[in-house]
Homo-oligomer: A and B are copies of this chain.
């Protein structure tokens, strides 16, 4: 193949697996594209990023500029949906001509022949130029050909005006183009969300009574007052009655045991139905509506598995694996058996109908008003299934978000992000000391994971009662929440248990004793405490400070005490800048000297700086690079707003 192009374009970033997957942004974020642009010889090379929204036909262009190590250009994604982008490069013969003649004139060479050459470059620009530019270019063409106008010609040949015209209307001869890459643009919530989780069946304010959607509705103002915008419910579908689990995950359910909400499906229906004890579809829709009015979205659990009495088992037997003895294969991890759960048989020859039904289920709930799904154990279903279903949903409903509940090997979790998940649970739950936290956040924000993994930090979940929270004091709970809510713009808690510090474990395990997963719990829903007040304040600060509405703009700061962690956060426009310092010791006061990140702050050593604690409203004035910090266990953090 003969290919006369002269510009090589490579090492384009950001890209994921060479464009197999899209990078992610939310509306109004910036995409900064870098690339190596190479050409042979010494000619002047030019390059641009072309981009367009999926609904646009014409590419927009932004010119790239060479930096220290590569070429760069940025654009803003203004709409939800897919954008395409690519890099193009060409030799700019007109600028090359101007560059050459400039040097020759400076060297006192006679440039008659060069001026004659210049006429063709001038003429080519005319087509695209404005009226006044056209007039100027016509004049140049005249004088370049006129030996009597030599002095004027050599002045105009090197003029900045001609340079701008050449730059603005390049003739892209032998243009080379990279392949196209994609960015998927979500609504802001993909990047900034504050989650609260509780089990609807525990929503009753009466002891021992099964909660209902109506009970949930009564709790909404409280959730809203605390500053949460996403309320996630474990599955609300009919719970299997065959092989139902008893309290504390026992294999034999006693009479009255309510079973695991994840054992979906019974004679009352399957994934498109509601558990009758919770209420009707009308109740559920009313709940969604009231929530929305309070600024809360209901996040639904999407758990693709079936109880033995799920209607699918009879209606679509081929969606399950049948054993030679005529029984359906239940879930197992030998020697462990999970007889209350039948896994989906993804190898089914009828998989197309299976996938379609899974998709239809999502559409059903989306039509009921659901726009956020927390997906249960996505890593036990095929990766390409997720790629397909997420794309299918987003094509019709770009507002819909998916949170991947996968606590497994890092590369598996990353892969789910690549395949399209909007957000991901993370290892934050187990990252406890300064080194662990710093290393993990650097990995999430400073590697290419920042292009496709949107972390969601949860101090606890119904599945994970981490050792460090077991019997932990209020200070530790505050510490964990403020870490999660300031390090990550997506945060969530398994609410009633966390805020009331109910951390009784199964001894030796990171699980809750008498877990709500297998029984109804009773909470004193309206009991107040200091922790709840602090959580609410932190959430308010998150809503008021854009620096906390994103995760990637973070710079850890030096502080000479391993019990103190400090970091600087900012929004892209840098009109919101915060400095967060947290005491990681839940028992003792800790002191240390904090080094301000002067370079990132864009200030010198003796710049006068005011920092205001957004919890206490105390203001400190700092004139030095190193500043004294003292944090008590009772209020173990500062969220400082920086005023320069």
CB neighbours of A112 from chain B (8 A): 325
Q: Provide the A25-64 mask, 1 if CB < 8 A to any CB of B, else 0.
A: 0000000000010101110000000000000000000000
Asked if residues B106 and A380 are in contact (CB atoms below 8 Å), the reply is: no
Q: Give complex CA distance A42, B113 in Å.
A: 75
Q: Is the CB of A40 within 8 A of B325?
A: no
Query: A380 vs B333: C-alpha distance in the bound complex, in angstroms?
Result: 63
Interface pair B40/A4, CB less than 8 Å apart: no
Question: Hey, what's the 0/1 contact readout for A103-116 against B, CB within 8 Å counting as 1?
Answer: 11011010011001
Task: For A321, give the chain B residue with the smallest CB separation.
Answer: B117
CB within 8 Å for A382 and B325 given contacts A10-B17, A347-B173? no
| A104 touching B380, Cβ below 8 Å | no
4 closest A-B pairs by beta carbon, nearest first, are A107-B335, A116-B324, A103-B334, A18-B18
Give A99's nearest chain B residue, CB to CB.
B334
Report yes or no: B103 in contact with A3, Cβ–Cβ below 8 A: no
A5, A18, A101 pick with most chain B CB within 10 angstroms:
A18
Q: Given contacts A5-B384, A10-B20, A117-B324, could you give 19 more A-B pairs where the C-beta distance is less than 8 Å?
A: A1-B388, A2-B352, A3-B384, A3-B388, A4-B346, A10-B17, A10-B415, A38-B415, A40-B382, A40-B383, A100-B334, A101-B334, A104-B334, A106-B335, A107-B334, A109-B335, A112-B325, A113-B325, A116-B325
Q: Is A327's CB within 8 Å of the partner chain B? A: yes
Question: Nearest chain-B residue to A351 (Cβ)?
Answer: B4
Residues of A within 8 A of B (CB): 1-6, 8, 10, 17-18, 20, 36, 38, 40-42, 99-104, 106-107, 109, 112-113, 116-117, 119, 173-174, 323-325, 327, 332-335, 346-347, 351-352, 355, 379-384, 387-388, 411-412, 415
Complex CA–CA separation, A103 to B332 (angstroms): 11
Whether A41 touches B332, Cβ cut-off 8 Å, given contacts A4-B384, A10-B17, is: no
Choose from B102, B113, B382 the contact partner of A5 (Cβ within 8 Å): B382
**Contact: B335 with A4, CB < 8 Å?**
no
Question: Is A42 a contact of B347 with CB atoms below 8 Å?
Answer: no
CB-CB nearest in chain B for A111: B334
CB A580 to nearest CB in B, in angstroms, measures: 33
User: Which residues in B have their C-beta under 8 angstroms from that of A324?
Assistant: 113, 116-117, 119
Query: In the complex the two chains form, is B5's CB within 8 Å of A40's CB?
Result: no
- Tell me which residues across on chain B come within 8 A of A40, comparing CB atoms: 379-383, 412
What are the residues of chain B within 8 A of A3 when measuring CB–CB? 384, 387-388
Residue of B nearest to A15 (CB): B18
Residues of B within 8 A of A332 (CB): 100
* A252 CB → nearest B CB, Å: 18
How far apart are the CA atoms of A113 and B329 in the complex, in Å?
11
Which residues of the partner chain B approach A20 to less than 8 Å between Cβ atoms? 10
Residue of B nearest to A119 (CB): B324
Report yes or no: A327 in contact with B113, Cβ–Cβ below 8 A: yes
* Neighbouring B residues of A173 by C-beta, 8 Å: 347
| Residues on the B chain within 8 Å of A41, using CB | 379-381
Most buried by B among A327, A334, A383: A334
**What's the Cα separation between A42 and B112 when bound, in Å?**
77
A383–B107 contact, CB under 8 A?
no
Q: State A341–B337 Cα separation when bound (angstroms).
A: 82
Give the distance in Å from the alpha carbon of A355 to the alpha carbon of B2 in the complex: 9
A411 & B38 in contact (Cβ 8 Å cutoff): yes
30 pairs, A vs B, C-beta closer than 8 Å: A1-B388, A2-B388, A3-B388, A4-B347, A4-B351, A4-B384, A6-B383, A8-B384, A8-B415, A10-B17, A18-B18, A38-B412, A40-B379, A40-B380, A41-B379, A41-B381, A42-B333, A42-B380, A99-B334, A100-B332, A100-B334, A106-B335, A107-B334, A107-B335, A113-B323, A113-B325, A113-B327, A116-B324, A117-B324, A173-B347
Contact B335 A382 (CB under 8 A): no
State in angstroms the CA–CA spacing of A415 and B38 once bound together: 8
Q: How far is the CA of A6 from the CA of B383 in the complex (A)?
A: 7
Instruction: Name the residue of chain B whose CB is nearest to the CB of A326.
Output: B113
